[in-house]
Structure 1
Amino acid sequence: MPSDKDILLALFEAALGAALPEGKFKDRLPAPPKGRTLVLGAGKASARMARAFEAEWGRPCEGLVVTRYGHGCATRQIEIVEAAHPVPDAAGQDAARRILALARSAGPDDLVVCLMSGGASALLTAPAEGLTLEDKQALNTALLKSGAPIGVMNKVRKAVSAIKGGRLAAAIAPARCVTYLISDVPGDDPGAIGSGPTIPEASDPAAVLALMRRYGVPVSPQVEQVIRANRVGGDPLPGQEVHMIATPLMALEAAAAKARDFGLAPLILGDAIEGEAREAATVFAGIARCAAAHGRPLAAPGVLLSGGETTVTVRGTGRGGRNVEFLLALAVALSGAPGVSAIACDTDGVDGTEDNAGAWFDSTVLAAAEQAGLSPVDRLDDNDGYGFFAALGGLVKTGPTLTNVNDFRAILVR
C-alpha cells in the first residue's frame, strides 16, 4: 500500500487533471463566423485555455489574453501577456485597455470568444471613471486583508470597474460572444468568475457600500461617488453563449475515483466550503474524528474530500495562504489523532503569495513539530502556516498549474 503522502498527492494530481482545459472545447465550439474570430481572456488559467482553444478551433484567430506572472504558455496566434495578482499593476491595466479596444472593434459578422478563469478580477483591471490604478490597488489590498468571502470581493470589484459585471460584453455587442469559464467560485456562478466581464449584472450601489462597511473596507467619498455613478443594467445581450468547462466538483469527482483505485471510500463533503480557514478546519477535524471512532459519516479506510474557498483574517506577520492556514488549524484540532492525514492545496499552484500550492501532514506532525521546537498554536496565531510546514518538509510545490478550480482538501482516515 502506498504511503499516506503518496495517496494524498495522487488525489491532488487527479483533481488537477480534471481541471485542465485540454479536450474541453471539442463539443462546445461555435459555428465559424463570416468575419474574424477574436479571442479575449483573463485569469490564471486563461493562457492554457487559449492554447487549448487554438488546438481545437483549427482555424485562424487572433486576440489577447492576460494571465498572472509566471502562468503564461506558448500559443500560435493569440497574444499572451502577464500581469500582477492579487494586487493589480500597470501591466494588467494596459491589457484591460487593449482588450476593451479589441472588443469595441468587433463587428456584426465577427465572433468573440472570451476565456475567463479565477484571477481575472485582479488581472483585468480597468478603473471606473474617477478612479486611478493606485485607488484600485489600495482597494484590493484592503479587500484581501478584510476576511471578506470571494463573492463580496467580486461585488466590490464590479462596482469600481469599467470592464467587469458585463461591461466587456456590452463593448463586444453587436458581435456574437461565446464565453468559456473555468470556475473557481463556490456555486459556480458565472457572474462571480473573474467578476463576470461578459455576464451582465444590474448595479446595486447601496448594497455594495453596505458590504464594504460590514467588512471594514475603507470607503472614501471619492470611492462612494464612483460606485454610485458606475451603474450598468443587467439585461442579457442577444446571441450570447456561456459554457462551463471545468469546476471544483469535477476535480473532486476525479479525486474520488482515484481514491477508489486505492481501495478507499470517498465522501465529497462539498465543493463550495467558505468561511474562516481555521474555523472550517475545526469542523472538519470533528468530522474526521467521528469517522475514525464511529465510522460516520464514512467508514475507514476512507477519504473526506472538499473544495471551495476559505478566507483568512490576517492578524499576525507570518507567511502563508488559506490552505496552509486550514491545514495547520486542522493539525491543532486533531491533536495527533492516530490514522488521520491530510492535504490542502490551491489548484492554481500558488497558496496566497508564496511558492507552494499548499501542504500535507500525517499523524506524526505534532510530535515532529515538538522535536523541531515549533509551536503550532503560536505559528497559527501568527498566520505562519508556510513557515511551520516548511520547517517540517510538508510543503507541496507544483509551480503554476495553469488552471484554477480553487482549493482542494483531502482528509485520509485509516
Structure 2
Amino acid sequence: MTPSREKLLQLMDAALKAADPAVQIPRNLPTKPKGKTIVIGAGKASANMARAFEQAWDGDISGLVVTRYGHAVPCEKIEIVEASHPVPDAAGQKAAQRILDIVKSAGPDDLVVCMISGGGSALLALPGPGLTLEDKQAISKALLHSGATISEMNCVRKHLSAIKGGRLAAACAPARMVTYLVSDVPGDDPAIIASGPTVADPTTGQDALDIIRRYRIEIPLAATELLNNDIHETVKPGDKCFDGHEVIMLSRPQDSLEAAAKVARDLGINPVILGDAIEGEAREVAIVHAGIAHQVAHHGQPAARPCVLLSGGETTVTVRAKGGRGGRNSEFLLSLLIQFRDHEGFSALAIDTDGIDGSEDNAGAIIDPTSWQKAISAGIDLREYLANNDAYSAFAKIDDLLITGPTLTNVNDFRAILIE
C-alpha cells in the first residue's frame, strides 16, 4: 500500500470513529419514567444505537428496531429485525406495522425512545391509505434514478407513508418521547432524516407533487390522490404530540470532517473542509473538487501542499444507462480520476459512511497516481464506464474498490482528496 493511501485510510478511520453513535448514547440518557421504557427505531445505525442504549440503561426495557440486512447486532431485550434498503420490502412493512402497534400501548407514565438514522425511510415501509407495497417500491426506484436530492425524495416518501412525517410520534402520544438521531442529510434537519417519523413536518402534499412533476416521475393514480388529500397531511409543528419531546443529535457529518481534519494536522497535512452539505450530480461535483485540487497544486490556494480537501453531504446520480453498477461515491471518484488522469500529486477516496455505496458491497473506492496507469494497462476506457454509470466495475478491474463492510453508522458521504 502506498503512503498516500495509508494516510487517506487514517482519515477515513477517524471520520467513522467520530460517527459512532454508541459513544454518545451513554452520555445522553433520559430520566427514568414511572412506567415502562420502550425502544423503537429504524435505520442503518439503529441496531447499534439500540444495543448501546440497552447496555447503558439501568432498568427494564423492551422494543423493536428495524435495520438493513447485514446491519443487525445482538441485543438481549430489544428485538432487532432486518429489512431491505434502499428499496423497501415486506419485512420492512411488517416491522413498521409492529412498531406502530407497540407504541399505541404506551401511556402517559411511559417513555418511548426512538433510534433514527439514515435508511429509515426505506426500512419503515408502511404505505399510506390506498397504496400498496408494490406502489411504494416502484416510486422508490423512480426517485432513486431521478437525480432528486435526499430532502426531495424524503418529502415525497413521508407524504405517501402511514408512519413517517411525524405520524409515529402521534401514535406514541401521550407517552414521553426521546428521539436519538444520526444525521445523514445536508443541514442535519431532523424532519428530513429517515423522513422524520417522530418530528414535525412543515412540508405539504403539494410540495411532494411539485417534486414528482419536476423530475417527471410517474406515480399511480392512488398516490396522486393521496398527495392531494388534506386529511392525510403530515403532522405539523405545534401539534400536542410533540409536547415534551426531546430530540438528541448524536452524530453529524461535520463531526466526522472535523475528526479527519485533526488527524490530518497531526500528519503534517493542511486540512481544508469544503463543506458538510454538498449536493449535486456526483460526476459534476467531482469536476468542481478537481478544480480546487488543481488550484492547491499550482497556486497554493486555499492552502499549501501537502493539503487534504475534505467534504461531506450527499451527491446524486441520474441513471443514464441500464446495467451499470456503482453508487454515488464510486461515480464521484471515477469522474475525479478522469480529471486527474496521471497527475502524480493527487490521491483520493470517497465512501458512504454506512459502508455500502448504493446497492453494492463496497463503501466506495480509493485512487492514487497508480490508478490511471492500471486502467491503461487493463485496456479500460474509464469515460465509457462513467457514461454507463458503471463505476463499480471499473474500480473492480483495477483493484481500487474500498470494502469496509457495514460500519453501523451513517453520516452520509465522506470524501478526502490529498494533494502532495
State the TM-score, normalizing by the size of structure 2: 0.97
Q: 2:95, 2:345 → 1: CA distance?
A: 50
- 2 CA distance for matches of 1:27 and 1:362? 40
- Mapped pair 1:241 → 2:246: yes
In 1, distance between residues paired with 2:289 and 2:303? 13
**What is the match of residue 393 of structure 1?**
399
Q: 1:245 and 1:382 mapped to 2: Cα distance?
A: 38
Which residue number corresponds to residue 44 of structure 1?
44
Residue 275 of structure 1 pairs with residue 277 of structure 2: no
Distance in 1, matches of 2:367 and 2:251, equals: 28
SS in 1 for 2:71: coil
Q: Which residue of 2 aligns with 1:265?
A: 270
Whether the 8 Å CA contact 1:344–1:359 is kept in 2: the answer is yes
Superposed, which structure 2 residues align to 1:69-148 within 5 Å? Answer: 69-148=69-148
Q: CA deviation at 1:220?
A: 3.0
SS in 1 for 2:30: coil
Q: Distance in 2 between matches of 1:21 and 1:312?
A: 28
Deviations 1:85-143 (A, max 9, x none): 00000000000000001111100000000000000000001101110111100110110
Q: What residue number does 1:208 align with?
A: 208
8 Å contact 2:275–2:312 — kept in the other structure? yes
Checking the alignment, whether the CA contact within 8 Å between 2:281 and 2:317 is kept in structure 1 is: yes
- Structure 1 residue 328 and structure 2 residue 334: aligned? yes
Cα contact 2:204–2:234 (8 A) shared by 1: no
Structure 1 residue 289 corresponds to structure 2 residue 291: no
Tell whether 2:341 aligns with 1:339: no
| Preserved contact between residue 203 and residue 233 of structure 1 (Cα < 8 Å) | no
Secondary structure (helix, strand or coil) at the match of 1:368 reads helix
Q: Which runs of 5+ in 2 are unaligned?
A: none
Partner of 2:413: 407
Among candidates 359, 364, 367, match of residue 358 of structure 1:
364
Say which is worse superposed, 343-352 or 362-371, in terms of deviation.
362-371
Please say if residues 213 and 219 of structure 1, whose CA atoms lie closer than 8 Å, have aligned partners that are also in contact. Answer: no
Deviation at 1:54, TM superposition (A): 1.0
Give the conservation status (yes or no) of the 8 Å contact 2:42–2:65. Answer: yes
Q: Show the counterpart of 2:194.
A: 194
One-letter code aligned to 2:57 = W
Once the two structures are TM-superposed, the CA of residue 206 in structure 1 deviates from its matched residue by: 1.6
Structure 2 counterpart of 1:311, one-letter code: T
Per the TM alignment, residue 232 of structure 1 is displaced from its structure 2 partner at its CA by 3.1
Asked whether the equivalents of residues 159 and 234 of structure 2 are also in contact (C-alpha less than 8 Å), the reply is: no
Q: Distance in 2 between matches of 1:241 and 1:328?
A: 42
Q: CA deviation at 1:204?
A: 1.3
> Secondary structure of 2:342's partner?
coil
SS in 1 for 2:10: helix
Is 1:228–2:261 an aligned residue pair? no
Distance 1:232 1:323, change over 3 A: closer
SS of 1:24's equivalent in the other structure is helix
Residue 14 of structure 1 pairs with residue 10 of structure 2 = no
Going from structure 1 to structure 2, the CA distance change for 1:322 and 1:268 (only over 3 Å counts) comes to: same
Aligned-partner Cα distance in 1 for 2:235–2:311? 35
Give me the whole-angstrom Cα distance separating, in 1, the residues matched to 2:56 and 2:116: 17
Letter in structure 2 aligned against 1:139:
I
Is residue 180 of structure 2 the alignment partner of residue 180 of structure 1?
A: yes
Calculate the TM-score normalised by the size of structure 1. Answer: 0.98
- Code of the aligned partner of 2:134: E
Conservation of the 8 A alpha-carbon contact between 1:342 and 1:411 = yes
**Inter-partner Cα distance in structure 2 for 1:219 and 1:86:** 18
Shift of 1:271: 0.4
Provide structure 1 residue ranges, at least 5 long, that are not aligned to the other structure: none
Residues in 2 aligned to 1:293 and 1:283: alpha-carbon distance in whole angstroms? 16
What is the alpha-carbon distance in structure 2 between the residues aligned to residue 206 and residue 11 of structure 1?
Answer: 42
- 1:233, CA displacement in angstroms? 3.7
How far apart, CA to CA, are the structure 1 residues paired with 2:243 and 2:263? 42
Contact preservation (8 Å) 2:165, 2:235:
no
In the alignment, what sits opposite 1:305?
A: 310
Q: Secondary structure at the match of 2:271?
A: strand
1:318 paired residue number: 324
What is the number of equivalent residue pairs in this alignment? Answer: 414
Question: Structure 2: how far apart are the matches of 1:402 and 1:13?
Answer: 13
Deviation at residue 371 of structure 1 after TM alignment: 0.8
Partner AA of 1:252 in structure 2: L
- Say if 1:303 and 1:203 are closer, same or farther in 2 by CA, change over 3 A: closer
Cα distance in 1 for residues equivalent to 2:304 and 2:257:
19
The answer to whether the 8 A contact 2:25-2:49 is kept is no
Counterpart residue identity of residue 356, structure 1: N
Distance 2:297 2:203 in 1: 48
Percent of aligned positions that are identical:
58
1:54 aligned partner: 54
Amino acid at match of 1:247: R
